[in-house]
Amino acid sequence: MESLRVFWGELGTFRYGVILLFVLTLTYIYHVIRRCVIVSRKVKPIDKQEHEGVSVIITSHNNAECLRRNLPSFLMQAYDNFEVIVVDECSEDDTQDVLTEIQKDYPQLRCTRIFPDTKFRFTKKLAINIGVLAAKHDILLFSEVNCRPSSMYWVKTMESYFDENTAVVIGFANYDFTEQNVRNSRMFRFLRFIKMMIMVKNKKYIFGDGCNMAYRKSYYIENRGFAKNSQSYLGYDNDMVRELSRFGAIKMTKDPNSYVIIDKSDKKGEINEVSYYYASKMRLAMTERIMIDGDMIVRLFFYLTAICLIVLGFYPIYVFFVMLTVFLTDVILLNICAICLKQKKLFLTSFIISMIGFVYRVYENGYSFFNKRKWS
């Protein structure tokens, strides 16, 4: 005990760095463990005696071939009481011909149109509002024209999470792992969905996903739709989550049957989703932005503190080992989250193994080098 007090006294100003690193390490580990617990926990849908009707709403602008390819996946859902509404948003291609052709085989398809000479011709929120007003059912399920359900039970699964106290249900949407050049986009959507799950768990309802989300028409009408901000592309999904959270619960589902697959090759003139995400964040208050990025801030300060201690020569081998251990813990638990969400090839097992081998080699062969420079 006496030797410990002597050691602590000899640390001098380094003791503040040690305390900061210790606190940041614990906070970092807490965040990554909590993230893994939230993602991996099982959430069962409601055992419902009667199922409600569902209206699927999709908007399209000059995407005739995309409709021809993806729309049948929405129309072939294994559900008794649903309709699909396509809002043609000022298209000037063969969209109307394609819709007429598909409608012959699928009577549950309904179409409406905003003509090219409409004053607000490029406002997505207007198209959504038209689709909502045309819907026959109270549960509205939204997706994009460049998406397709991963299962025939997409409508049934999303509807099963609704009860009388549910306002919004958000599902997972990501690119197919077989597509080329989508690794970064897949990683972004994966991390964004985890962030959304954590925010919902914290009862902070900020983000939605227009590729796969559902809410009630009655709440939309009561909230007056997008009346507060109807002329901006931003917020067609996020604003609804925030506004409708006043009426009921916000739920996230990670059931594989509720997944939606995004086709990268079908995207035409769409706003970049990373830019959309950060532009949406800029509309938030500073306190909300800090709350969203709290875990990233902890990570930044942890690595900065550890690197500073290493550069200053404070037991660098031990600080380096702590830093690598925390990093590997983060990567491994994130890999577990990817497995829980059935995301293949996001993280390579070989990468983790190589990092473990690297740490071992540093510890075995580099100890004498670091030991010469350690603080004394």
Residues 351 and 312 in one domain: yes
Residue 351 has what pLDDT? 45
Residue 5 covered by a domain: no
Residue 370 has what pLDDT? 39
Report in angstroms the alpha-carbon separations of 17 from 10, 14, 47, 231, 314: 14, 5, 53, 50, 10
Q: Are strands 166-170 and 213-216 parallel, antiparallel or unpaired?
A: antiparallel
Residues 262 and 304 in one domain: no
Greater confidence, 275 or 351?
275
Write out the two tokens for 57: 């709403």
Residues 77 and 28 in one domain: no
Domain hosting 300: range is 13-40+286-374
E strand or H helix at 365: helix 349-365
Residues 113 and 252 in one domain: yes
Cβ(32)–Cβ(330) below 8 Å: yes
Q: What is the pLDDT of residues 254-298, one digit of tens each?
A: 999 999 999 876 554 445 777 888 888 888 888 888 888 888 889
Residues 322 and 291 in one domain: yes
Q: What is the pLDDT of residues 188-207, one digit of tens each?
A: 899 899 999 999 998 888 88
Express as a percent the part of the chain with pLDDT over 90.
38
- What torsion, rounded to 10 degrees, do the Cα atoms 83, 87, 92, 96 define? 20
Residues 130 and 251 in one domain: yes
d(CA 144, CA 278): 20
Residue 120 has what pLDDT? 56
pLDDT band at 13 (very low <50, low <70, confident <90, very high): low
Residue 162 has what pLDDT? 92
Greater confidence, 110 or 17?
110
Residue 137 has what pLDDT? 94
Indicate the average pLDDT of the chain. Answer: 82
Greater confidence, 133 or 280?
133
**DSSP alpha helix (H) spans, 154-261:** 154-160, 183-201, 217-222, 238-244
Residues 98 and 218 in one domain: yes
d(CA 308, CA 221): 55
Q: How far is CA 159 from the centre of its chain?
A: 20
Q: Is the per-residue pLDDT at 221 higher than 50?
A: yes
Q: Which of 236, 270, 304 is the last residue of a domain?
A: 270
d(CA 310, CA 317): 8
CATH code, 67 = 3.90.550.10
Mean pLDDT of 102-111: 91
Q: Is the per-residue pLDDT at 51 higher than 70?
A: yes
Q: Is the per-residue pLDDT at 154 higher than 50?
A: yes
Residue 288 has what pLDDT? 82
Query: DSSP states of 188-205 as a string?
Result: HHHHHHHHHHHHHHTT--
Residue 372 has what pLDDT? 40
Greater confidence, 177 or 216?
216
- Residue 103's nearest CA partner among 82, 131, 75, 123 is 75
Residue 77 has what pLDDT? 95
Residue 46 covered by a domain: no
Q: What is the pLDDT of residues 311-325, one digit of tens each?
A: 887 778 888 999 989
d(CA 154, CA 160): 10
Beta bridge partners of 184: none
Residues 244 and 292 in one domain: no
Residue 350 has what pLDDT? 41
Cβ(131)–Cβ(215) below 8 Å: no
Cβ(172)–Cβ(193) below 8 Å: yes
Residue 330 covered by a domain: yes
Cβ(343)–Cβ(177) below 8 Å: yes
Long-range CB contact pairs, 323-330, < 8 A, 24+: 324/355, 324/359, 324/362, 325/359, 326/25, 326/28, 326/29, 326/302, 327/355, 328/352, 328/355, 328/356, 328/359, 329/29, 329/32, 330/28, 330/32, 330/299
Mean pLDDT of 212-225: 91
d(CA 19, CA 25): 10
pLDDT band at 119 (very low <50, low <70, confident <90, very high): low
Residue 96 covered by a domain: yes
E strand or H helix at 335: helix 316-340
Residues 339 and 257 in one domain: no
- Residue 335's nearest CA partner among 211, 201, 209, 194 is 194
Express as a percent the part of the chain with pLDDT over 70.
81
Mean pLDDT of 326-346: 85
Residue 369 has what pLDDT? 38
CA angle 262, 266, 269 (to 5 degrees): 110
Residues 135 and 248 in one domain: yes
Q: What is the pLDDT of residues 353-375, one digit of tens each?
A: 444 554 444 444 444 433 443 43
Q: Is the per-residue pLDDT at 67 higher than 50?
A: yes
Residue 376 has what pLDDT? 34
Domain count across the chain: 2
Residues 257 and 340 in one domain: no
Residues 78 and 158 in one domain: yes
